[in-house]
Structure 1
């Protein structure tokens, strides 16, 4: 990406944050690379952790992050609980993630906060058979970056 392209991209990110309170960045799937998406601006503007989703297509990733922002804006986020109402297609878990674990992933978010404090979560979803990563037989390309020990 050229410097001019980077500048235009970051202008778009900044404009979306100013207009909507957050921006969702999506990184496309490639050979031997799991796609992912993440938010920038949720902690600063809505008081909730920034969201990260691994392994879903762009549309579902955007829907999950947008629904998360709308559902928990200015509220306490329920961590490590099965949530059936974040999206109508499947239940999810929200788990805490240390920002350092996403160091090479959430570049626009790190740029936004520079040296300021922010928190992150990951939205975990089931495979096509409804099994979550800790369950026997789970089969899906989803990278887990957070604390996934569920009770």
Structure 2
């Protein structure tokens, strides 16, 4: 909390109670700010200790530099709800996260891990990624305009990454991407986020 706001709150509280203003109100505000910051840190530690999911995410980020979250719609979800996977943790060093749509978690995880090793700077729209798919195929990067689905990243960092979330777009068996004519949407439905 802002020290000035806390100082003003202390002074207002003393006025309401008919107490004289403290000569060291600035110091009291600083003490309250320090106590509030300490409390927030303790609360974060408490939540982490008792939330196994968040604990695992933080552990994976500490050990591997990233955590991969897989999202799998329930069986009764509408057909347009497809699996997707995304990273959390890359934004600490790179300022962005990665996502893959539709692919099974093990394949998406492999692509995300390989891509995280290859990327060393913020990408540009349409950048190509070699050697992350196998079979001689090249992936393409697309900056996600809708980041609402990447809840774990927001939970861990409190906001979206500074340089966004980049979708690794996979071509169909003919090498075409979803926004190109002739792309096989039936074989590999792949929404662009």
Q: TM-score, normalised by structure 1?
A: 0.79
**Unaligned regions of 5+ residues in structure 1, if any?**
1-5, 146-151
Call closer, same or farther: CA 1:93–1:7 in 2, change over 3 Å.
Answer: same
Q: Relative to total residues, which structure has the larger helix share, 1 or 2?
A: 2
CA deviation profile, 1:65-91 (whole Å, cap 9, x unmatched)? 111111113x34354133332222321
- Aligned residue for 1:52? 99
**In the alignment, structure 1 residue 11 sits paired with structure 2 residue 37:** no
- Aligned residue for 2:108? 61
Conserved? CA contact 2:97–2:161, under 8 Å: no
Rg larger in structure = 2
- Of structures 1 and 2, the one scoring higher in RCO (CA 8 A, sep 6+) is 1
- Aligned residue for 2:169? 124
**In the alignment, structure 1 residue 94 sits paired with structure 2 residue 141:** yes
- Aligned residue for 2:131? 85
Q: TM-score, normalised by structure 2?
A: 0.63
- Aligned residue for 1:39? 87
**Unaligned regions of 5+ residues in structure 2, if any?**
1-49
**Rounded Cα–Cα distance in structure 2 between residues aligned with 1:39 and 1:29:** 18
**Rounded Cα–Cα distance in structure 2 between residues aligned with 1:37 and 1:16:** 15
3-state SS in 1 of match to 2:82: coil
CA deviation profile, 1:90-149 (whole Å, cap 9, x unmatched)? 211011124xx121x11110011104753211110112333211222212211111xxxx
Conserved? CA contact 1:48–1:72, under 8 Å: no
Call closer, same or farther: CA 1:12–1:129 in 2, change over 3 Å.
Answer: same
Conserved? CA contact 1:25–1:38, under 8 Å: yes
Conserved? CA contact 1:37–1:53, under 8 Å: yes
**Rounded Cα–Cα distance in structure 1 between residues aligned with 2:138 and 2:161:** 30
Moved more, 127-136 or 49-58: 127-136
